[in-house]
Structure 1
Amino acid sequence: MRKPFLRLGGLMALLAVALGAFGSHGLKNAVDAASVNTFEIGVRYQFYHAFALLSVGLLLYWRKNKLLTAAGWLFIAGIVLFSGSLYLLAISELFSLNTSVLGPVTPVGGVAFIAGWACFILATFQKNEKSYRRKGSEEG
């Protein structure tokens, strides 16, 4: 799972840069300041968790365990649910979107982020299921 998390982390960071540029340049004159702020919060949390995904992918080279993998999937779910719902809320007035269903989605994404960080922390207490280190190196 390390390569998919590295690839997805890179993709999420790339999209955060593109969405951030769109939000600060394209949305500024199209929606109100509160909507731009909402969009920027989505970008910020996407960026934080893109770096978290990259960290998970790198850690999986040395420390493979199920909680670390769960953390990666929870970070992805959080990006989609939390940041994605904020993006839709921010642009809803442009496209006359019905956002009533998004109210409960944003907090679920936030809970996914929190659960991902909890799994990340707990993974540091687990023994490796499989180590990618060379034989003879010390366990950490």
Structure 2
Amino acid sequence: MLDMNKNLSITAFLGLTAIVLGAFASHALKEKLTVEAISSMETAIRYQMYHVIVLLFVNSYNGFTEKFKNKVSLFFFFGILFFSGSIYLIYLLGVPVKAIWFITPLGGGLFVVGWLLLLFFFMKKVINKK
């Protein structure tokens, strides 16, 4: 199982890669990629950064158990890997879309599960307060 410091280290790495890839895409690839490709890359980078911010919250919030932090973190880590990573593979390495078409929505599904876990956690707190 991951611990909070490992989770935060991975999160920092993912934040760093989002910034580096964003700069790379907007400068070095600007002339090489189509408008559609740049848009897809921006979406991948944006989703990665959104989930980095959430991971910082999840792994810093004292109201979650370590087990819960790890569970949510794994869904978001793999969501980033599959969702954003598959888009990077397509546009940066030229992997054919048909070869990995199923990976991007799988990553999106992992994001949804992570968000559902957070929703259920906080809704349970609301219900128990009544």
Give 1:120's match in structure 2, choosing from 110, 113, 118: 118
1:84 partner SS: helix
Q: Please point out which of 56, 63, 80 is paired with 1:54.
A: 56
User: Highest relative contact order (Cα 8 Å, sep 6+), 1 or 2?
Assistant: 1
Check whether the contact 1:4–1:57 (CA below 8 A) recurs between aligned residues: no
The separation in 2 between residues aligned to 1:3 and 1:123, in whole angstroms, is 22
Give TM-score scaled by structure 1 length.
0.79
Superposition deviation, residue 119 in structure 1: 1.1
**Matching of residues 1-140 of structure 1 within 5 Å:** 1-59=3-61, 61-64=62-65, 66-92=67-93, 95=94, 97-124=95-122, 125=124
Deviates more, 1:115-124 or 1:8-17: 115-124
**CA pair 120-69 structure 1, distance change in 2 beyond 3 A:** farther
Give the Cα–Cα distance (whole angstroms) in 2 for the partners of residues 111 and 63 of structure 1: 22
Cα distance in 2, alignment partners of residues 121 and 46 from structure 1: 20
TM-score, length basis structure 2:
0.85
Give the whole-Å Cα distance in 1 for the aligned partners of 2:96 and 2:91: 12
Equivalent pairs counted in the alignment come to 122
Partner SS, residue 14 of structure 2: helix
Higher helix content, 1 or 2: 2
Who is 1:137 aligned against? none
Root-mean-square deviation over aligned CA pairs: 1.7
Residue identity (%) = 30
Unaligned regions of 5+ residues in structure 2, if any?
Answer: 126-130
Residue identity opposite 1:71 in structure 2: V
Aligned counterparts of 2:7 and 2:15: Cα–Cα separation in 1: 12
**Structure 1, gaps ≥5 residues long:** 127-140
